[in-house]
Amino acid sequence: MGDLFKRREKIISPGDLEPIHPNLKIVGTFNTAATRHDGHFYYAVRVVAEPENHPEGVRLAPRFENANLKFDSIPVQDIDTSDKDPRQILLKTGQSRLPFISYLEIMRSKDGFTMDPDYHVRILPEGEGDEYGIEDCRIASIDGNHYLTYTAVTNGKGGDNGVLPVPNLITTKDFTDFERHGKIFEGPDKNVVLFPEKVNGQYVALHRPDQKEGGSNIVLAQSTDLKSWSAGSHLSIGGVSLTDGHRGAGAPPIKIEEGWLAITHQKLDNPAGTENNSPFIYQSPAFILDKDDPSKIIASTDEPFMKPEESFEKEGYFGNVVFPTGAIMLPDDELYICYGAADEFTGAAIVDVKELKQRMKPVGPAPAP
């Protein structure tokens, strides 16, 4: 087999952007959506910023209220300090708060690797339904409109976690004016990606509702208006639903000759323990979904085709994470993949599609009972 990756590098880092408040430090620029528009690559970067200085005896947790940034003071004695996950502040009550605020920075590039320094648009939380931040966007371009689906993090009001992820939608035609449409799925739910065209006359989405039993897996749902969705069904292999644990959609699927190419993510326990600040590994399986019934997986990479390998993927805010969030087909059978690396950086890769297909095996219907 030849080389799968023709290029794979860090393209955006926290130091590239200015913080929005003197007591906020940017710690992440990652999980970046990507599309093409008007001869450019356009990106929606998740920017994560944390308070830099905390007063004695408290930890500051940022949030938005009426479009203004606020800091809540959490007494240190209320925090469960045995929890080492940097992505949450676990309270002794079992609820959690986020130690950071996330928002989107819209950026662009001519070549997919170097950013245009003169173009920046910022999309901040409004404070109603997204008070704890805007995370993990994907962009699907359908008939000349761009659909930005993202996770708005809101207050679960005593729910399981205190924080509730709710999928929301923003649209734009030109990357100058953006229109907010609010919630499109009930939370807790994440990782909504839209297909780039209707299938059998309906919009199609992959999403990842949180299921208490059976973990989190990818569900395919249909809609005529992008607001009310069918209950949907899990992606299936050979007639068997894929409900093995922590999976989520990655980039919006791409139409290829064989079906829909779907780049996804999968979370596994990290056998090396908490090395690199992370007890998990996030890696990427790729699937081909049936053209007419995209809940059926018709081919799959045996092994995830992308795992944390480069140093900027292994070490960072939360190490051992590759989290693909954008994919664009280029000429000459090359696939451009945009991904979060170690919850800190944005990486871009060029993948040889022929090689990727060679690593995929067809999966047939279930054998007759």
Contact 99, 91 (CB under 8 A): no
Question: Site residues (CB under 6 A) for ligand MAN?
Answer: 31, 87, 135-136, 282, 318, 321, 323, 340, 343
Do the Cβ atoms of 111 and 34 come closer than 8 Å? no
**Closest separation in Å from C-beta 227 to ligand MAN:** 24
AA letter at 191: N
Rounded Cα–Cα distance for residues 17 and 345 (Å): 12
**With respect to ligand MAN, which residue has the nearer C-beta, 10 or 296?**
10
Give the residue among 107, 137, 112, 138 at the shortest CA–CA distance from 252. Answer: 138
Query: Is the separation of the CB atoms in 41 and 328 below 8 Å?
Result: yes
Q: Which is nearer to ligand MAN, 87 or 180 (CB)?
A: 87
Taking the least distance from each CB to ligand MAN, the nearer of 24 and 321 is 321
Among 126, 155, 153, which Cα is nearest to 137's?
153
Our CB check for ligand MAN shows the closer of 155 and 270 to be 270
We find the least distance from the C-beta atom of residue 343 to ligand MAN, in angstroms, to be: 5
Residues contacting residue 215 through CB under 8 Å, at least 6 positions apart: 243, 244, 245, 246
Q: How far is the CB of 245 from ligand MAN (least distance, A)?
A: 13
Complex with ligand MAN: residue 247 or 296, whichever CB lies closer: 247
Q: Rounding to the nearest 10 degrees, give the CA dihedral for residues 13, 171, 251, 348.
A: -30
